[in-house]
């Protein structure tokens, strides 16, 4: 019984970490690929350590957020099954677990380098503001989510001691704004009349408005990335990756608009065409950067 109880607690804590959402930390590895350091063992190790650090940091944020939002989550058809909302993990235990993960993540960042630790600390500060305040502010909520991804990408560049390109910031920011507005659209479409009960600022959004915002960010992402391949990349052959970017974001939008779209956070884990397009994009980009 004790072993079974320990396993159930460990399983609940793992769910609290939301490992399915660790794919978001893949933005950390963009710096490794686009800096030309992906064939250097030391850089690979530093990038993977930074990826692991941000998995710990993001999980600490998820755990703290679940503890803070337990009452609201109990009204959500899916989130009510989360460990804290369902009662599997006490609120105090979730907060303590979040603190331990934050310390672990920052320690790994510091081992990689002081600037990476600064990025990790900035990410936690941003998430603290988001959890307490920014997530209730219309538009600013999505902008703060996007900023978290930009910090991830910058941390990845700093980990391999490469200069931070403004193109990385612009393209990452625009793409993640698109992803953020698609997430709000999913929440509004799937929850219907109960959306405002779950998240207060959803009252100020509407599905048509979010569709317009997504369209703007989608167009801006494709244009910005295309301009980068022609004028910002070291080789003009990077323009060969443009079709895969266009297909990827359009495929993502198709999935978001299909019925209630499924949860945008997990689409990458479920859709094979989207996975293939991302892998082909990475393969061609690396071919151009390292062998062209």
Radius of gyration of the chain (CA): 19
Q: What is the pLDDT of residue 172?
A: 96
21-164 belongs to CATH 3.20.20.10:
no
Decide if pLDDT at 192 tops 90. no
**In the chain, where the domains are located:** 21-164, 165-292
Please check whether residue 47 is in contact with residue 160, taking contact to mean a CB–CB distance below 8 angstroms: yes
Question: What pLDDT band is residue 191 in, cutting at 50, 70 and 90?
Answer: confident
pLDDT in tens, 206-248: 999 999 999 999 999 999 999 999 998 888 999 999 999 999 9
Q: What is the pLDDT of residue 6?
A: 59
Q: What is the pLDDT of residue 190?
A: 78
Q: Which residue has the higher pLDDT, 103 or 232?
A: 103
Q: What is the pLDDT of residue 208?
A: 93
**DSSP codes joined into one string, 20-37:** GGGGGGGGGGHHHHHTT-
Closest CA to 46 of 162, 159, 163, 158: 159
**Virtual CA dihedral for 142, 68, 109, 32, nearest 10 degrees?**
-30
Q: What is the pLDDT of residue 1?
A: 39
* The model scores a pTM over 0.75: yes
Decide if pLDDT at 72 tops 80. no
Q: Which residue has the higher pLDDT, 259 or 203?
A: 203
Decide if pLDDT at 10 tops 90. no
What sign results for the dihedral spanned by CA atoms 132, 263, 283, 226?
negative
Question: What pLDDT band is residue 186 in, cutting at 50, 70 and 90?
Answer: confident
Pairwise CA distance, residues 49 & 44, whole Å: 9
Q: Which residues are CB-contacts of 96 (< 8 A; sequence separation ≥ 6)?
A: none
Q: What is the pLDDT of residue 261?
A: 56
Among 11-25, 51-65, 192-206, 264-278, top mean pLDDT goes to 51-65
Q: What is the pLDDT of residue 26?
A: 93
Mean pLDDT of 282-291: 93
Which residue's entry shows tokens 């030391």?
42
Angstrom distances, CA of residue 272 to CA of 120, 182, 253, 267 = 32, 19, 15, 9
């Amino acid at each position: 019984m004790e072993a079974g109880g320990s396993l159930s607690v460990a399983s609940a804590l793992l769910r609290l970490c939301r490992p399915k959402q660790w794919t978001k930390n893949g933005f950390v590895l963009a710096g490794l690929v686009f800096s030309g350091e992906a064939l250097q063992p030391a850089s690979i190790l530093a990038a993977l350590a930074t990826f692991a650090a941000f998995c710990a940091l993001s999980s600490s944020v998820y755990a703290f957020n679940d503890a803070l939002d337990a009452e609201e989550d109990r009204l959500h058809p899916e989130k009510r099954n989360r460990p804290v909302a369902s009662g599997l993990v006490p609120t105090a235990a979730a907060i303590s677990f979040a603190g331990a993960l934050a310390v672990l993540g920052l320690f790994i960042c510091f081992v990689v380098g002081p600037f990476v630790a600064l990025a990790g600390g900035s990410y936690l500060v941003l998430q603290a503001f988001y959890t307490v305040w920014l997530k209730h502010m219309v538009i600013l909520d999505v902008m703060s989510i996007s900023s978290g991804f930009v910090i991830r990408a910058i941390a990845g560049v700093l980990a391999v001691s490469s200069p931070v390109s403004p193109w990385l910031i612009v393209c990452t920011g625009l793409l993640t704004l698109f992803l953020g507005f698609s997430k709000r659209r999913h929440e509004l479409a799937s929850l219907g009349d109960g959306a405002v009960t779950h998240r207060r600022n959803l009252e100020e959004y509407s599905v048509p408005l979010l569709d317009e915002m997504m369209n703007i960010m989608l167009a801006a992402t494709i244009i910005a990335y295309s301009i980068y391949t022609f004028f910002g990349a070291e080789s003009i052959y990077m323009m060969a990756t443009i079709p895969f970017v266009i297909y990827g974001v359009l495929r993502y939008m198709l999935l978001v608009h299909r019925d209630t779209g499924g949860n945008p956070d997990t689409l990458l884990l479920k859709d094979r065409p989207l996975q293939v397009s991302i892998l082909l994009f990475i393969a061609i980009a690396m071919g151009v950067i390292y062998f062209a």
